[in-house]
Amino acid sequence: MRSQASGDARDRGLPPLHGEPVSRVPIVQVRTLCQSETDGYDRRRPSISFSAGAPISDSELCIPDILSVHDAWMRLALEEARRAFDEAEVPVGAIIVHEQRVIAAAHNQRETLNDPTAHAEMLAITQAAEALGAWRLLDCTLYVTLEPCPMCAGAIVQARVPTVVYGTTDPKAGACHTLYQITEDPRLNHRSSVLGGVLADECRAILQEFFAERRAMGKK
């Protein structure tokens, strides 16, 4: 099952699953639209375009507003969450952005890999470290559809991720704001800037749909 899933990931042009090399995968970049291009478009659903290769230059990057940028990246994380949904995994997706490029994209794989640590954030952090050739994920932003749990928040601190953006809060395990503030704890040797609530309704809806279907089938 793992080899098939890995092949599917490569076919989609995404970084491979946990434990496989990332170097063969083209890095994806996202370009937000300039103001002259945005007349009449819905800012809640910013247009994005994809290409592989070198990062876009500052002159090419025209940002209508910072929330539109966060929305655009979060939509890529939501695509990963939908892949998890299709694989009967809890639908949480994550991407890591470095210099306007996606260097890691992952979703929950706990059931597929029989690995309790295979949360979207953990897999994405491993991919990003391999892509950069360094365990310190400096100048990176982690986007994830659900507020990180204590395990993932700890990994974020260990990886020195400077910025975290999440979708919906996790009332049972949220470790950035809800139950704990691990990523901003002044007692630790690294702290991340954390922004929550980006596309929260959409991130919450896919989780609600997933668990509603499981309850209907009598599954926990």
The dihedral through the CA atoms of 186, 188, 189, 190 has a sign that is: negative
| CB contact burial 167-193 (16+ within 10 A = b; e otherwise) | bbbbeebbbbbebbebbbeeeeeebbe
Rounded-to-integer distance, Cα 63 and Cα 134, Å: 29
Q: Please pick, among 89, 121, 130, 147, the residue that the annotation labels catalytic.
A: 121
The amino acid that residue 13 corresponds to is G
Is residue 121 part of the annotated active site? The answer reads: yes
* Residues 73, 66: Cα–Cα separation, whole Å: 11
Q: Beta-strand (E) ranges in 1-68?
A: 28-31, 49-52
Q: At what angle do helices 66-86 and 200-216 cross, to 10 degrees?
A: 10
Cα dihedral 100, 197, 90, 43, rounded to 10, equals -60
How distant, in Å, are the alpha carbons of 49, 72, 97, 164, 202 from that of 44?
Answer: 16, 9, 20, 20, 11
Positions annotated as catalytic residues are 121
